[in-house]
Structure 1
Amino acid sequence: MQIKDLEYFVKLAELQNFTQVAQYFKVSQPTITYAIKRVEEALDGQLIQRDQSHHAISLTPDGAQFSAHAKHILNELQVARIEIKNNARAKIFLGLPPIIGNYYFPQYIPQLNQARLIQYLHTHSRGSEYLLSQLLAGELNLALLATSTQLDAQALKLIPLAQKSFGIIVSQQHPLAKRDSVAFSEIADEDFVALDEGFVHTAVFDVLTASSGHKPNIIYQTDDVNILKKMVSQNAGIALLTDLAVTPNDDVKLLRIKNDDLPSFKIYLAYRHDYILAPIEQQFVAIFTQKAH
């Protein structure tokens, strides 16, 4: 049985038609037939039920079970190919969300520079949800991730780094700026500026709208936190934002949200459980681990 045989089988399980699979891979139909036969012989079982009159097939129970295994095997092979390719480049492929990159990561730069690791960093800046998918797919080896929920501890090695709060930011000229806290239900009629999908803020915003029974009007969405804060400072709207991203130089007021069940902004350093860290990655992780403790 060859790797290509697995690819043929997975596609056949999807399309359930020999002719279509042959056309997809641009090979002859007998090539697909012999490949499936090799797989069945290697496993000593019948994986497909052939319908000779209609040139179609259906999976047997064993075939359905093996299809799930074959998909997992092919995915792991793809991840391994990417890992080997990345390791050959002697780079630290790091997922770094914008908020963490701008307001949390800089505190580690002196130590990373002293360890001469800065030159190896190759960062990808996107929302945490997208970076998590890239990490699991093997496109990234390490990621600093923000989450308001539990991450998959079976698939990922998670090192907790920090925990911050969410609040509402308003312009200093906004009537709410006279207050220190606000219930989400009180601001249901306000216009909101929001971060794009893929940021942890989106999930928290959905939690707040569901618990309050109100869905505020979002007038603008952006992937740039500085643009969001500028629009709020100009009184274009208000926004949900972690206190990590609010600095004394921002012309906004941060209000605490009155909600006992409000999720927190948790920051983790994450990598796959089955990934073996290269020496430079071990150094990188050690710096974050030591500071976290």
Structure 2
Amino acid sequence: MELRQIRYFMEVAMREHVTEAADALHVAQSSVSRQIANLESELGVDLFIREKRRVKLTPIGKIFYERMAQAMNVIDDAKREVEEHLDPKKGTIRVAFPISLAAYILPTVIHAFRMHYPEAKFHLKQALYDELIDGVIKGEYNLALLGPLPKDEKKIHRKVLFTENIVALLPIHHSLAQKKSLKLLELKDEQFVTLPKGFVFREIVEKACLSLGFSPSVGFEGDDTDALKGLVSAGLGVALMPEVTLVDNIPRSTVRIPLDDENLTRTVGVITPTQRKLLPTEELFYEFLQEFFSRLNYFNN
């Protein structure tokens, strides 16, 4: 197997089209087809099912693709490590994050980091909670911010960066909108707007309510926090939100009210792989994250 064959295979697998893969690789279609055929001949299996102009991975092709994706990540990391060893301040940081940290936390940290290392580059990926963990384990990226931190995964290191409050977001004309703070139990008869089942923050909301003896009545679901804000703004229900999602961004026609309940918080942190070392520039950013939030927590307290 040659590295060129693997790269051609990966591109065709991602695009499911030989011509489009050839265009992306800036080579002739015949060259891509020939290299794929040589690879299949060497392996002794069909990696693709041909369907007119399109192709799809066979079951064994899917397994081979997953293994090669991990191998190519290792190769790319090795190349980057050599480059960054010469000058870590100019390297690239691959970091993944959930949507709840996209609007304020991550941009703020990156801006502060670039003040110290202006030539550092970032490759950012937004993903769901389980995808973030899986991506770090499989080597798609080495750093992921998320909240709350997972407890039982042995293949990742965890580092708490900060703990944030969970707050209530109410329509501005709601009967409780003038209160300075609330108990969660005061919302037991309200209609909630929440993230769909399967989202970790949905589980946090449900567990908090159940601990007080009621199950939240969910009237509407939204796929992200911005959708929830819009639903509350339209007067369609109340929502519990991570406080960081409302920093400098409270939707019109809504009010943010602190909750007096103890332990109604969410930990936010960074995860890294146990089986791989961070690359030099990633190590700089990882150390910077800890220092940045350590200072922030000190001043906030």
CA distance in 2: counterparts of 1:85 and 1:219, whole angstroms: 48
Report if the CA contact (8 A) 1:144-1:267 is conserved.
yes
Tell me the equivalent position of 1:83.
73
Tell me the equivalent position of 1:256.
258
| Secondary structure of 2:103 counterpart | helix
In the TM superposition, residue 186 of structure 1 has moved relative to its aligned partner by 2.7
CA distance in 2: counterparts of 1:212 and 1:86, whole angstroms: 50
In the TM superposition, residue 118 of structure 1 has moved relative to its aligned partner by 5.0
| Secondary structure of 1:269 counterpart | strand
Does residue 167 (structure 1) correspond to residue 167 (structure 2)? The answer is yes
Runs (4+) off by over 6 Å: none
Tell me the equivalent position of 1:233.
233
Report if the CA contact (8 A) 1:167-1:255 is conserved.
yes
* 2:224 maps to amino acid: D
| Secondary structure of 1:259 counterpart | coil
* 2:189 maps to amino acid: D
Q: Quickly say closer, same or farther: Cα 1:117–1:197, change in 2 above 3 A.
A: farther
Aligned length: 219
In the TM superposition, residue 84 of structure 1 has moved relative to its aligned partner by 0.8
Tell me the equivalent position of 1:97.
98
| Secondary structure of 2:275 counterpart | coil
Tell me the equivalent position of 1:130.
131
Which range moves more in the overlay, 253-262 or 78-87? 78-87
CA distance in 1: counterparts of 2:119 and 2:198, whole angstroms: 28
TM-score, scaled relative to structure 2: 0.63
Tell me the equivalent position of 2:21.
none
| Secondary structure of 2:282 counterpart | helix
Q: Quickly say closer, same or farther: Cα 1:139–1:241, change in 2 above 3 A.
A: same
| Secondary structure of 1:196 counterpart | coil
Higher Cα Rg, which structure? 1
TM-score, scaled relative to structure 1: 0.65
* 2:214 maps to amino acid: H
Does residue 176 (structure 1) correspond to residue 176 (structure 2)? The answer is yes
Does residue 274 (structure 1) correspond to residue 275 (structure 2)? The answer is yes
Q: 1:1-293 counterparts in 2 under 5 A? A: 81=71, 83-87=73-77, 90=80, 91-114=92-115, 115-116=117-118, 119=121, 121-147=122-148, 151-152=151-152, 154-197=154-197, 199-250=199-250, 251=252, 252-262=254-264, 264-293=265-294
CA distance in 2: counterparts of 1:168 and 1:207, whole angstroms: 15
Report if the CA contact (8 A) 2:206-2:216 is conserved.
no
Report if the CA contact (8 A) 2:105-2:244 is conserved.
yes
Percent identity between matched residues is: 23
In the TM superposition, residue 80 of structure 1 has moved relative to its aligned partner by 5.3
Structure 2's unaligned 5+ residue stretches are 1-42, 46-66, 81-91, 295-301
Structure 1's unaligned 5+ residue stretches are 1-24, 28-76
Report if the CA contact (8 A) 2:132-2:144 is conserved.
yes
CA distance in 1: counterparts of 2:241 and 2:162, whole angstroms: 16
In the TM superposition, residue 153 of structure 1 has moved relative to its aligned partner by 7.2
